[in-house]
Structure 1
Amino acid sequence: MTLDIMIPFYGDPAMLRETVGSVRAQTSPDWRLTVVDDGYPDPTVAEWFGALGDDRVTYQRNEVNLGANKNYEKCIAIAQQRDVVILGADDVLLPEYVAVVSAARAAHPEAAVIQPGVKVIDEHGTEVRTLVDETKKRLYQPRVTQRTVMGGEDLARSLLRGNWLYFPALCFDVAKIRAIGFRPGLDVVQDLQLVLDLLMRGETLVYDPAVCFAYRRHSGSDSSWRALDGTRFDEERRFFLTAADELERLGWSRAARAARVHASSRLHALTYLPAAVQKRRPDAVRTLLRHGLGGLPGSLAPRRGAGTAS
C-alpha cells in the first residue's frame, strides 16, 4: 500500500515546513506527498520546495484561489493511490502514522475510512488538553484498546452526539469518497457530512487507538474564528436538521434524534458566550444563544458508539 498524502495549503509557511518534515520522517516508505498551494502570497514557499530535492514530494500552485472546500476537492481528484489523507498544513504526523494506517488497511480492505489515535498540540508544538478535546475523549470517543470496525446507525448516532473524529488524520478509500464528494455550502462540518454520507451508503470505519497523529489546535484556525463569530453554529444547525430528516427516511430513528438534539454542538456554542459578551458582539451572542438553547427536543446525555474489535 502506498499512501497519497495531500496537503491543501494556505497558511503559515513555517508550520507547513514542519508538517512536510513529519511526513518525510515516517518509518514506512510507503507514501507520496503532494502540496497544493492555493495561492498563498509568499514566493519563499515555492522556493523552499524547489530546493527540497525529494522526488517523493510534489508541489503545485493553483493559478487562482479556490477556497478550502474546492482545494480539498482538487486534492481528492488528483490523488493517484487507493488511499488518501487530506493533511492539515499545520498538523504533524508522528513517525508511525503510515505504518499504523497501512496495517489497518491490510486487515480491513473493505473499510471506507481509517481513524488512528490522535493527540492535540498547540501552536508551539506542546501537547495540550483542551475542553473540546477532553470532552471528545471522555464522553464521546469509543473506549476501545484495539483496532475496531464501526458502522451503521450506531456509529452515526455516536458521531452526531459528539464528533470525535479528526478529519486531517483520516485515511480514506479515495474511490468511495469520489463517489460522494463534499456537499456544497459547508465549510465547517463538511468532514462529518462526508463520513455520515458514507455510513448511510453502508460503508464502515476502522478506529485504531494507536496514537500516531498530532492535531494542532490554536486560535488562528478557521473553525475557531467562525465559532466566535457565531456563523459556525448557523451552519451546524442547518447540517443537523437536514441530517435528521435524511436519517429518519432511512429508518435510523435513534441517529435522527441525536441529530435533532445535537447536544455537544449546543454545549460548544455556549462555551463561546463569555468571549462574545466580552468583545461586545450582540449579533454573535444572539446566534450562540439561539443555537445553544433553541428548540431543545430531549435529553442531552451523551452516549458512546459501538464497534467490533478486529
Structure 2
Amino acid sequence: MVTLDFLIPYYGDVRLMQGAVRSVLAQTDPDFRLVVVDDGQEPEVPGWFAALGDERVTYARNERNLGITENFRKCVRLSRADYVVIMGCDDVLHRHYVRTVRELAQAHPGIGMIQPGVEIIDSEGRVTAGLVDKVKRMVYAPRVRGRRTMAGEELAVSVLRGNWLYFPSIAWRGEALRQVSFQAEYSVIQDLALVVDLLELGEGMVIDDSATVFQYRRHAVSESSVQAFTGTRFTEAARYFDAVAGRMDARGWSRAARAARFHSGSRFHALSMLPGALRHGRREGVRNLARHAFTPGVPR
C-alpha cells in the first residue's frame, strides 16, 4: 500500500497550526505519519504536542531559526514515505485527503506529483477567491474535467506562464523529492523551481478536480505579500526566470523558454500588488513591481 508523510514546517500563529494538525488527525484513512518541524519559540507549543499522545505524530523544535527554505529542506530530509505532503502550517485538510491521494497514486503508479482539488479560504476560514486566484484558474490552469496527467515541456510551459499550482496541497513522490529537494538560493519561488526540476528529471503530474480535499489559506497580509509590497519576491522571480529560460533552451524546450522569459502570470501578480505598494508608501517597492510587471525578458 502507498504510504504517506505529512511534513509541516511551522512558524507563526499557534491557533492556525493547531487547526492544521487537527485536520490531519481527523482523516478518514488513518494510515499516515505527521512530522512538525518548529522554527519558532512559542512556549506552549511543545507541551501541546506532548499532550496529543498520538504515535503517528512527531514534533521537533529547531535549536535555532533556520528560515523558510532551510526548514523546508529539513522537512524533506526527515521524510521517508512513498508520497510526501509539505503542508502549510495554516492550511486545512478535508477529511478524505489521504484516501483521495492514495487512490490517485495507486491509479497512476510512480506518478511524481499529485495535485488534488483545492479551495481558497481567508484568515477566518471562509471560502473565498480573490483576483489572483481567479486569474490562476481562468487564465493559467489547464482545463481539467475529472483527472488529467501532464508532464515534460507541456507542463513546464503551463506553470512558467503562470504558476497555478497550490504547492502545500501537492503530494510528491518521496524518492524524487528527496533526490531534488529545494534550491537553497530561493526563498519565495522555491515551489515553482521544485516542480520544474522534477519535470526535467522526467516526473509527471496527475491533476484531479473531481473532489475538493484541501483548503489553502490566503491571508490579506502574509510573508509573501509583505515581500511583494517591497518588490523583493519579484526580484528573486526575475532572477529565476532568466536562469530557467537558459536551461529550457539547452534542453530544447523552446516553448518553455519563451514562457519563462515572458512569465506573464508573475508579471500580472506584480501588477496586482502595485496599488498596495502605493498605499503603503513603498517607493522602492513600486519601482521594483513596475519594473517586473512592464519589462519581460527579451524573447530569443
TM-score by shorter chain over 0.5: yes
Q: Partner residue of 2:86?
A: 86
Shift of 1:220: 3.5
State how 1:178-197 maps to structure 2 within 5 Å: 178-197=178-197
Q: Report the Cα distance in structure 2 between the residues aligned to 1:212 and 1:28, rounded to whole angstroms.
A: 13
Q: Partner residue of 2:199?
A: 199
State how 1:20-59 maps to structure 2 within 5 Å: 20-38=21-39, 40-59=40-59
Q: Report the Cα distance in structure 1 between the residues aligned to 2:289 and 2:214, rounded to whole angstroms.
A: 31
Q: Partner residue of 2:20?
A: 19
Q: Partner residue of 1:302?
A: none
CA contact (8 A) 1:104 1:147 kept: no
State how 1:117-196 maps to structure 2 within 5 Å: 117-196=117-196
Q: Partner residue of 1:248?
A: 249
Shift of 1:297: 4.5
- Deviation track 1:100-156 (CA, whole Å, cap 9, x = no partner) reads 110111011221111101000001000011111111111111221122211011110
Name the SS of the counterpart of 1:51 in structure 2: helix
* Alignment-mate amino acid for residue 75 of structure 1: C
Shift of 1:296: 5.8
* Alignment-mate amino acid for residue 293 of structure 1: F
Structure 1 segments (4+ residues) deviating >6 Å: none
CA contact (8 A) 1:245 1:256 kept: yes
Moved more, 140-149 or 105-114: 140-149
Q: Sequence identity, in percent? A: 49
Q: How many residue pairs were aligned?
A: 297
Q: Report the Cα distance in structure 1 between the residues aligned to 2:286 and 2:108, rounded to whole angstroms.
A: 46
Note if 1:285 corresponds to 2:286: yes
CA contact (8 A) 1:272 1:288 kept: yes
Q: Partner residue of 1:216?
A: 217
CA contact (8 A) 2:263 2:296 kept: no
Q: Report the Cα distance in structure 2 between the residues aligned to 1:69 and 1:200, rounded to whole angstroms.
A: 21
Q: Partner residue of 1:303?
A: none
Q: Partner residue of 1:308?
A: none
Shift of 1:219: 2.7
CA contact (8 A) 1:219 1:225 kept: no
CA contact (8 A) 2:228 2:285 kept: no
Unmatched tracts of structure 2, length 5 or more: none
Shift of 1:217: 0.3
CA contact (8 A) 2:73 2:181 kept: yes
CA contact (8 A) 1:85 1:168 kept: yes
Q: Partner residue of 1:101?
A: 101
Shift of 1:276: 1.5
Unmatched tracts of structure 1, length 5 or more: 299-310
- Deviation track 1:47-80 (CA, whole Å, cap 9, x = no partner) reads 1111111111111111111111111111111112
Name the SS of the counterpart of 1:33 in structure 2: strand
Q: Report the Cα distance in structure 2 between the residues aligned to 1:78 and 1:296, rounded to whole angstroms.
A: 38
CA contact (8 A) 2:111 2:203 kept: yes
Q: Partner residue of 1:73?
A: 73
